[in-house]
Amino acid sequence: MEFGFSLTLRTDRDCEIRIESNFRVTEPGTVVFRGLPHTLLSEDSTVQRLIGRLVAYACASDDGGLLMEFADRASLVVPFAPDFEAWTVAAPEGFKAVSVAGGGLAVWD
């Protein structure tokens, strides 16, 4: 995991998810965490608990939103941003998906 003005998650299958906008983490039985990427995220316990979680489901919507659900029923949601790319997913062999500013998806395979 990297922090800065983006939050970067890396999977054990060499996928990289870079979040550069508002996001929400929901965990069963806890308060919802809403965040914006910044350097202080490295100190947040909710964000730290994303490390090592098994991704059970991930989906990008036509409007540019991203949903990731984890095996323990936690979830990460990133809505599209009106003025910039909210998130990017890069996977092996050249696959890339980007949430387009203002809504929508751009995908390269």
Does the pLDDT value for residue 39 go beyond 80?
no
pTM for the full predicted model: 0.89
Confidence of residue 1 (pLDDT cuts 50, 70, 90): low
Q: In terms of pLDDT, which residue wins out, 42 or 3?
A: 42
**Cα–Cα distance between 17 and 37 in angstroms, integer?**
13
Q: In terms of pLDDT, which residue wins out, 60 or 46?
A: 60
* pLDDT for 42: 74
Q: Kindly report, residue by residue over 66-85, the tens digit of the pLDDT.
A: 999 999 999 999 999 999 99
